Structure formats: C-alpha cells, structure tokens
Amino acid sequence: MASSPAPSPAAPPLLLAALAALAVVASASAAACSAGDRDALLAIRAALSEAHLGVFSSWTGTDCCTSWYGVSCDPTTGRVADLTLRGEADDPVMAPAGRPASGVMSGYISDAVCRLGRLSSLILADWKQISGPIPPCVATALPYLRILELPGNRLTGEIPRSIGSLSRLTVLNLADNLITGGIPSSITSLASLKHLDLTNNQLTGGIPDDVGDLTMLSRALLGRNKLTGAIPTSVGSLTRLADLDLAENGLTGGIPDSLGSAHVLTSLYLGGNRVSGRIPASLLQNKGLGILNLSRNAVEGAIPDVFTAESYFMVLDLSRNRLTGAVPRSLSAAAYVGHLDLSHNRLCGSIPAGPPFDHLDAASFASNSCLCGGPLGKCT
C-alpha cells in the first residue's frame, strides 16, 4: 500500500502575519488615489464639457486610479501618471457596440493640470472644440512629462516659451489647432524629443537655426503654417530623421545640401513654399528617400541625372517649378518610380523610352517648354 505524501510544514504564524500585512499594504498602495490629484482632475473636468458619450460619467467617488476613464496612476505612489482622452478611439466608451464614434468636447484646458506633478502623459486629442491657450505652467510644473498630445482641437495662443524645460519629453503633438506665434527657441533643448508635430496651425517666424541639436528626432512635421526664412542647414545633422514635412509655408532660400546626407530620411515634403536654387544631386542619390515633393516652388536648373538601380521613389513630384534641361535618362535605371510629376516646368527634349516612362500619362509631363515623345506623342 502506497504511503500518503508527507504534509507540508505549516508556515510560521509570524511569517503568515507579515505576508498578510504586506498584501494589505500593496493592495492599498495600488488602489490609493492622491486627494490632491483627484481634486485637480475634478477641476480639469469642470472646465470641459462632453454631453453625448459620457466620457466623464465614471469620474465619481474617491478612487480616481482604478475606475476613472482615461486616468492611470503609478501603483506605488497613487499619483496620476497618465491622462488620456481621445475624441476618436476604439474602446467601449468611444466605440459603443463596436460602432466608433467621433466625440466633441468643448471648454478649455484648466491650469489645474499643472497640479498633477507626476504626470507622464497628457493626451487630449481630436475633440474639435477645446479652445483657449495651453496653460504656460505645463512647461514648468510637469517635469516628468514625456508625451504631450493636444491635436485636433481649437487651441489658440502661443506654444509656451519655456517648453524646452521638459527634459523628458519625447512626443510633442499640437497639430490641427489655431496656435500662433513663433516656434520657441527653447524647443531645441528637448534632447529626448523624437516626434514633433506642429502641422496645420498659424505659426510664424523661422525654424530655429539650431534644430540640429534635436539629435533624437525622427519625425518633424511643420507643414501648413506661415513659417518663413530659410531651411536651416543643421537639419542635415539629424541622423535619426526619417520624415520631414515643411510643406505649405513661406520658406525661402535653397534646399540644404546637408539633407542629402540624412541617411535614414524616407520622406521629404517641401511643396508649396518659395524655395529656390537647384536640386542637390546628393538628395536624389539618397538611397533611403522614397517620397520627395518639391512641387510649387521656384526651383531651377537641370534635374541631376544621378538615378541608379538603388533609387526607389514611391512619389517624385517636381512639378510647378522652373526646371530646365532634359528629363534625366538615368531614371530608366531606377528600381521603382511610382508617381512621377514633372509638369509645369521648362523641360525640353524627348522623354526616354521604357520604364518608368511607359506607365505614365501625359499629365506627368504637361506644360513644359518643348518636351515630346512617350505619352506626349512623337517628336517632330
């Protein structure tokens, strides 16, 4: 007959008591909610109005850390770490019954947000009607802030002058608002910044000359503003920069040669400015560049005939400039050219035969001085 397994030795009563005490402390710590932070959140809520989706319906009681929609806390301190409210999100609140909704929220951003001293993420995105300025104290009272996203609203006023004080900031997204004034010079002190999106505002003045100091930057999206002046040459020293959008501004001067050495650059949008001078050959030789839009500028001279079998352009738009000379024959050697637009220039001569020219229509070459061949018909 098999013997029964020996019973496990009982844990000492003192050990059990200690473990129980630790469990209670851990549970309390994880569930704790700073009273000061809770009061700040209620002040933030009082400044905002959202009537249809009930975004704030869960903001009741004292436990802001576990049940309040959009609020997350540090479990060890009970301090609010993240406030994330998106007007277009895929969750049970914003997408009831699996049907995504587009929320509308009005009001303003209360400076009570600056009392959330351990805040890491502040996201109030795509609510369409939140107006007023960004509280200046956001730049000075939130030293732990890593993500600041306020796009898709109707914010006015200027970007806080001291924004560069947010030394931990990795994402700054203020796109699609009504923000005015210049880009603060302190912004180049954001040594951790990876994503900068100021698209579609009313920003004026120039791009800071020392923008190259943002060595971690991978995306710089400044299109559709009223920026003027030259493109800083230091932008070419941004070795991690993959996407640069400066389109639809009033920028002047030449295209910096240094952009040709931005080896991870994949997209460059400069369309709709007053950029002049020639196209740097190094830019077209950049092996990683897949989207290049220089349309609607005053770029002149010949298109550098430097394309190779490693050239791969999903978009190459050089339309509506003052380009002269012939269509580069080396384009035939490119691995791929999807959308090509050379229209409304001063190009002349015959369009080369073969790919990529054999899949393009006449619109790609329209309104030049004396182009012929290919989709434009035989040269006479």
- Which residue ranges make up each domain of the chain? 70-372
**Residue 380's pLDDT is what?**
74
Give the DSSP H or E segment for 281. Answer: helix 281-284
Taking CA atoms, 335 is separated from 135, 285, 310, 328, in Å, by: 50, 13, 6, 15
Q: Which residues of the chain have pLDDT under 50?
A: 1-29, 31
The amino acid sitting at 367 is S
Instruction: Name the pairing type of β-strands 312-317 and 298-302.
Output: unpaired
**Residue 99's pLDDT is what?**
65
Tell me if 250 sits within 8 A of 270, measured CB to CB: no
**Residue 28's pLDDT is what?**
42
Neighbours of 3 (CB within 10 A): 5
Q: Which residues contact 8 (CB under 8 A, 6 or more apart)?
A: none
**Residue 189's pLDDT is what?**
98
Instruction: Name the pairing type of β-strands 195-197 and 171-173.
Output: parallel
Closest to 34 (Cα-Cα) out of 73, 84, 61, 83? 73
Tell me if 253 sits within 8 A of 227, measured CB to CB: no
- Tokens at residue 85, please? 């409210």
**Residue 25's pLDDT is what?**
38
Q: Is 65 exposed, middle or buried (0-12, 13-18, 19+ CB in 10 A)?
A: buried
Q: How many Å apart are CA 365 and CA 360, to the nearest integer?
A: 9
Q: CA torsion 171→36→73→134, rounded to 10°? A: -20
Classified by CATH at the fold level, domain 70-372 comes out as 3.80.10
User: pTM value?
Assistant: 0.89
Tell me if 314 sits within 8 A of 291, measured CB to CB: yes
**Residue 357's pLDDT is what?**
87
